[in-house]
Structure 1
Amino acid sequence: MNPAYRDRLLEAIASGNADQFAGDLEAMGIEVGEDGELTIKNENKSNRIKYTCSMCETNIWGKPDLNVMCGDCNVAFEVAN
């Protein structure tokens, strides 16, 4: 980020005028409320789910619809509850 731009942004935040930078802040995951209050978005961007081997109970995490076999048990991992 350009240092001069960063300084203007920090000054706007400190003075409560961050709404002029709302688009840029939104892109950084910061929401500007109607009252000018800043809120950091807490999005869970992880789309991983937990899989478990039904025999040895080894756990792995991966994308939905993953088709994986346990190398020790030669059994397909199942979606964990």
Structure 2
Amino acid sequence: MVLYNVVPGKSYYAISFRDIPPDYILGGACLACAHKGPVNRAIIERRWGDGEALRFVDRYLRCTACGNPGHNRFIVYGRRTI
């Protein structure tokens, strides 16, 4: 699922961590090999802050499958059920 479906009215480049409800599991998508996997949202928010725009943090994502260090994006990997 793409982030702008979770945060209607905002494009990817305007979304910050605080815009995404906490019950959504963030993931990363590699544009080189199309691998998708979950990321640890708590660690990322603790390091960058919950007000940081995703577009500034996604440049530090690295694909765990192929090692691609660039042009990766955040995605919604899933949703926690209660």
Q: Please give the TM-score of this superposition, normalised by the length of structure 2.
A: 0.31
Q: Please give the TM-score of this superposition, normalised by the length of structure 1.
A: 0.31
| More RCO (CA 8 Å, sep 6+) | 2
Q: Which has the larger radius of gyration?
A: 1
